[in-house]
Structure 1
């Protein structure tokens, strides 16, 4: 039982479904340990309310119209928000989990989480401690144990030139190979880094330490 003298955790709910927001609010209503200070239907509004209301924890859905959850988490980090972001979503794929954690989310839970577990998770997040649902923790552990296939020396060479702004044709000329060969290598790079475009490939390579600012 929360002590009456304890300062309640200020909570902001960000989800594009009103019924979901109502359900989450209901879980915390009546508990003196929490105060729901606001609700947002998209990421941009969540960022605005975080600035205006200064919540301790933001329960953030990922897939929302307009500004999604990951973009909102990045913006909150960029603006120096002190709020801890606890992702609450139905999605636990690598494409959802990893970007959210890398963007700065303190925790990641699925919407089938029970009320007691969610309450504990919010308290944990408010303390700045990480909290992950079991399936998400397993995915992250799997990423550590089984990292993405390493890039070959040629793929790293090509990606380094792409990072410098070279087109496929320019890469082909620099390396004395055909443009078709370059395209094939680029597709392999995308697959290994789990990305869909050149900018994302370069960003992922820097993030994983495959490329460095000194050209490594």
Structure 2
């Protein structure tokens, strides 16, 4: 297994310049990795930052689940290949335990199929350990708090192409149909777009614009918990697996809203 490359001699000032104003309160980070050197390196890179409160580092998925229940960390660094564990299954499990936690999945080497499975399971990002350094850690946390996906641009392009192909059978559209996208949107409409309440449509519009739950709550003067309930209702009515699929629909079916 390849260890994450972290330059522990990097100047603190170079890391601090990456800190975003979005981090308005201390951020709790859970590091799940079965290599002690990796855990120590990440801890050393983050603990000097006033914006970061490193909750704990653990070496296996069972301990990770315990800490997620107790601490509800904002960010979870998750090694996908811990011995006697399944990273994809664990992402789903952690998302169930703490829906507000954002997961950054780390792989030994970048793999398109693995990346697609990771994102569809609910992770907010996927990176190869070989590509990570201290400056990246802060930049990735910023991106995650903006509800952006942490992916290399080339990989993101390939994943979107794959997602587009996967979306067609998801909505009962056969590949090769000349009207496949129109059929996709028609099916989406039948499957619930017109059933959304006015508030749900408003929130869906904001989701498609990249706003996170906290920002939506502040803008609409409602609680974040209420926003999360609306989001779950939206996904259920649309038959969407996640916010990405819901956003895809609104971008291609704005007339229905």
Q: Please, what TM-score do these two structures have when normalized by structure 1?
A: 0.61
Per the alignment, do residues 40 and 68 of structure 1 end up closer, same or farther by CA in structure 2, a change over 3 Å counting?
Answer: farther
**Matching residue of 1:140:** 159
Which has more radius of gyration? 1
Does residue 90 of structure 1 match 2:108? yes
4+ runs of 1 displaced by more than 3 Å? 144-147
Deviation at 1:77, TM superposition (A): 2.2
**Matching residue of 1:18:** 36
Residue by residue over 1:132-157, the C-alpha shift from the partner in whole angstroms, topping out at 9 and shown as x without a partner, is: 1234324313425777xx9xx9xxxx
Residue by residue over 1:103-149, the C-alpha shift from the partner in whole angstroms, topping out at 9 and shown as x without a partner, is: 100111221222212211112213433221234324313425777xx
Aligned length: 153
Structure 1 segment 96-111 matched on structure 2, within 5 A: 96-111=114-129
Deviation at 1:20, TM superposition (A): 0.8
In the aligned structure 2, how far is the partner of 1:76 from the partner of 1:146? 27
CA RMSD across the alignment: 3.0
Does residue 124 of structure 1 match 2:110? no
Q: 1:31 aligns with which of 31, 43, 49?
A: 49
In the aligned structure 2, how far is the partner of 1:80 from the partner of 1:58? 11
Deviation at 1:82, TM superposition (A): 1.7
In the aligned structure 1, how far is the partner of 2:99 from the partner of 2:165? 34
Per the alignment, do residues 137 and 26 of structure 1 end up closer, same or farther by CA in structure 2, a change over 3 Å counting?
Answer: same
**Contiguous gaps of at least 5 residues in structure 1:** 154-206, 208-216
Does residue 74 of structure 1 match 2:92? yes
CA contact (8 A) 1:28 1:34 kept: yes
Higher relative contact order (CA 8 A, sep 6+): 2
In the aligned structure 2, how far is the partner of 1:91 from the partner of 1:20? 15
Per the alignment, do residues 39 and 118 of structure 1 end up closer, same or farther by CA in structure 2, a change over 3 Å counting?
Answer: same
CA contact (8 A) 1:9 1:126 kept: no
